[in-house]
Chains A and B, each alone.
Chain A
Amino acid sequence: MLSRLFAAEIHVSLKAEELFMVGPLKVTNSMLYGAICALLIVIFMIVMAWRIKLRPKKGFSAIVEMITEHVIGILEGPFSSREKAVKYAPYFGVFFLFIMFNNLLGLLPVVGPGIYSSVEGAHVPLLRPFTADLNGTVAMAVFAIVLVQYLSIKEQGGRFHLQHYFGDKPKNPINLFIGLLEVFGEFTRIVSLSLRLFLNTAVGEILVSVFTSMILATGRTPIAVIPILLFEMLVAYIQAYVFMVLAATYLGLATGHHDSTDDHHSAAKLTNRLAEDGKG
C-alpha cells in the first residue's frame, strides 16, 4: 500500500509533463493541479463568505478569520499603516493563500509521483505542484509586478509613479540613469520572485521523493520522511510569506515615496510657520 502511494522509483523532473491537448494549448500536470487548487480555494472562500457572522463560531470560519487577521498583520509592516494594509489585503492575501494551499496540498502523496497517468506509453504523474513549475511561478511573479504597477498608479497617479523611478528632475542625466536602473530592477524582481518560489518547492519535492525512495529501497516504512515533510510545511509557509511581503514591499516603496514627500512638504510648512511666528 505504502509503496503504491509513495513511488519506490525516483521520479525527478524539473519541467512539468504534458498530459493532453485542449485545442492548441498543451495542458501540463502542473496546470491541472493549479486549476484544481484555485477552484478549491474559490469554493472554500465562497462558502466561508456565506457564513460570515459578527461573532464567528468555532470551526473553519474562525480559521479563515485567523488567516485574514494574520495577513493584515503582516501587511502592516510594509505599508506601515493598518488602513492601507486592510485596503490591500485582498490583493496580496490571494498570493499568500494560493501559494500556501499549493505548497501544502503538494505534500500529499497523491500529488507528484503518487498517481500516474499513461501518456503515449510513458508514465507521467497526474498532478504536480503549480509552484514547482517555473512557468507557473513566472506567471505569478509577472502578475504580482504588473499588479504593483497598476495599484501604484491608481494610488498616486502616473506622474508620481514615474517620479518614484526618475526623481523630481528626470532630465538630469544621473536621475535618468538611476531611473533606467530602477526600471531594469523591476525585471530582476520578476526573476528573483519566480526563481525563489520555484526552486524552494521543486527542491522540496525532490528531497521528499529521494528520501522516500532511499528508505523504501531497503524495504522499511518511510517514517524518517516525516521530519522532512514537517520542514517542507515550514518552507511552504515561509515562501508564501516571503512572496506576499516582497510584493507588498515593492508597492510600499513605490507609494511610500509619495507619502514621505507629503510629510516633507508638511514639515516644510511647519518650519515656515514656526519661522513666521518667530518673526511675528
Chain B
Amino acid sequence: MVQLFAEVVESGTPIMAKSIMLGVAFAAAALGLGMVGANYMKALGRNPEAGKQANQLIIVAAMIEVTALLAFLLGAFLLK
C-alpha cells in the first residue's frame, strides 16, 4: 500500500493520487458511518429507551460525513 502511494507520488500523476485520496476518504467515512449505525442498533437492542436520544446519532453522522466531503472538495476542486 505504502509502496503504491510512493510510486504514485513519484510518477506525478495527480489523477491517480486524487483517486486514491478520495477512495480512502470515502471508505473511511463509510466505515465510520457504519460503526455509528451498528453501535446505535446494539445500544437500541440492549436499551430500547436509547431511541429517545437518536438526534445525537444524526449529529455524529453529519460530523463524519463532512470529513469525506472535505476530501471531495480538496480532490475535486482545490488540489491541482
Contacts and interface: CB of A to CB of B under 8 A. Distances in A.
Interface of A: 14, 74, 77, 192, 195-196, 199-200, 203, 206, 238-239, 241-242, 245-246, 249
B58 to A, nearest CB: 6
Given A14-B77, A192-B66, A199 B58 contact: no
B73 interface: yes
Contact of B69 (A77, A199, A249): A199
Given A192-B63, A241-B55, A242-B58, 15 more contacts: A14-B77, A77-B55, A195-B66, A196-B69, A199-B66, A199-B72, A199-B73, A200-B65, A203-B69, A206-B76, A241-B58, A242-B59, A245-B58, A246-B59, A249-B59
A195 B59 contact: no
A196 B72 CA distance: 12
Contacts of B44: none
- Those 4 A-B pairs whose CB atoms lie nearest each other, nearest first: A199-B69, A242-B62, A196-B66, A77-B55
Nearest to B77: A14
Contacts of A196: 62-63, 65-66, 69
Nearest to A235: B65
B27 interface: no
20 contacts: A14-B73, A74-B55, A192-B63, A195-B70, A196-B62, A196-B63, A196-B69, A199-B66, A199-B70, A199-B72, A199-B73, A200-B65, A200-B66, A203-B72, A238-B62, A242-B58, A242-B59, A242-B62, A245-B55, A245-B59
Interface of B: 53, 55, 58-59, 62-63, 65-66, 69-70, 72-73, 76-77
Instruction: Describe A's contact surface by its main secondary structure.
Output: helix
B69 A200 contact: yes
A60 B58 CA distance: 28
Contacts of A203: 69, 72
A206 B73 CA distance: 11
B58 A238 contact: yes
Contacts of B66: 192, 195-196, 199-200
Contacts of B69: 196, 199-200, 203
B56 to A, nearest CB: 8
A195 to B, nearest CB: 6
B7 to A, nearest CB: 29
Nearest to B72: A203
Contacts of A74: 55
Nearest to A243: B62
Contacts of B62: 196, 238-239, 242
A234 to B, nearest CB: 11
Contacts of A239: 62
A200 B70 CA distance: 10
A14 B27 CA distance: 24
A192 B67 CA distance: 10
